[in-house]
């Protein structure tokens, strides 16, 4: 792979999904030599993310709110609330699988219907889901979380030799536990058990309530000016 050559195409500007007063524009990698686990490993460490088979990075003209973030799993120190959630984890069973359980779509459909009925993923569709979360060139695993043998959460996760990348999670929308946070904690724990250093949870957006939770997992690094710090 020629790491000095990276062809990126810009999407048109459109309304930002996270900050209503901003316009969003993405740089999408169009050079197929990067569409591989090895290529994506380099790019995710440079601030890119994957959506389906496309690798992209925000390249907005007037906004730089999307900050790449990664959690240092071996040195992770849970906060007080996370310690309480870790205690809750002991009541649950979790495991990574190469395939989804047969009843996954029932859980996904309920999650989309109750939590995201006005979003682009509604109504829930199996083909659209797999187009969004998987790529034929990427190794992806599915974190399954069970309570008394009942499936209550799934987190789609890209797998690298030294890291995991959180792609998408869905869960029982009426469950009293913070299942989204628990999925992140399970992913961190798997990194620790498997000697992986980093969990990439996606972009941190301070002004967006739905996207500003990632800094609660510490220690972490942010990519600022091309340097992880």
DSSP secondary structure string for all residues of the chain: --TT---EEEPPPEE-SS-TTSEE-EEEE--GGG-SHHHHHHHHTTT-EEETTEEEEE--SS----EEEEEEGGG----HHHHHHHHHHTTSEEEEESS--TTHHHHHHHHHHHH-TTSTTPSP-HHHHHHHH--TTS-EEEEEEEETTEEEEEEEEEE-SSEEEEEEEEE-TT-SS-HHHHHHHHHHHHHHHTT--EEEEEEE-TT-GGG--GGGSSSEEEEETTEE-
Count of positions (residues) in the chain = 229
What value does the mean pLDDT take over residues 179-192? 97
pTM: 0.94
Whole-number pLDDT of residue 211: 84
Q: Which of 220, 210, 205 is nearest to 73 (CA)?
A: 220
Mean pLDDT of the chain: 95
- Tens of pLDDT along 153-162? 999 999 999 9
- pLDDT tens column, 118-164: 888 999 999 999 999 999 999 999 999 999 999 999 999 999 999 99
Positive or negative, the CA dihedral 144, 145, 148, 151 is negative
* pLDDT at res. 31: 92
The domains of the chain, with CATH numbers, are 8-66 (no CATH), 69-228 (3.40.630.30)
Mean pLDDT of 180-205: 97
Position 17 scores a pLDDT of 87
181 contacts 89 by C-beta, under 8 angstroms:
no
Whether 1 and 35 have beta carbons less than 8 Å apart is answered as no
Q: Which residue has the tokens 């459909």?
A: 109
Residue 2, pLDDT > 80, answer no
The count of C-alpha atoms lying within 13 angstroms of the C-alpha of 69, restricted to the half-sphere facing its C-beta, is: 21
């Amino acid at each position: 792979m020629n790491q000095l050559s990276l062809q990126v195409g810009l999407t048109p500007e459109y309304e930002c999904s996270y900050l209503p007063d901003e316009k969003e524009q993405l740089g999408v990698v169009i050079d197929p030599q990067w569409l591989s686990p090895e290529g994506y490993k380099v790019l995710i460490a440079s601030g890119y993310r994957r959506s389906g088979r496309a690798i992209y990075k925000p390249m907005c003209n007037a906004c730089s709110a999307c900050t790449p973030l990664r959690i240092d799993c071996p040195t992770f120190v849970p906060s007080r609330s996370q310690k309480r959630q870790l205690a809750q984890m002991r009541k649950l069973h979790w495991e990574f699988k190469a395939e989804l359980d047969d009843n996954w779509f029932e859980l996904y459909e309920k999650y989309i219907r109750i939590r995201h009925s006005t979003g682009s993923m509604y109504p829930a569709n199996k083909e659209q889901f797999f187009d969004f979360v998987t790529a034929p060139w990427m190794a992806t695993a599915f974190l399954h979380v069970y309570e008394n043998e009942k499936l209550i959460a799934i987190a789609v996760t890209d797998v690298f030799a030294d890291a995991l990348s959180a792609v998408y999670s869905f869960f029982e929308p009426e469950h009293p536990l913070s299942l989204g946070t628990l999925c992140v904690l399970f992913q961190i724990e798997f990194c620790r058990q498997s000697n992986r250093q980093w969990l990439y949870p996606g972009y941190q957006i301070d002004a967006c309530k739905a996207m500003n939770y990632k800094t609660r997992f510490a220690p972490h690094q942010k990519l600022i000016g091309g340097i992880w710090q």
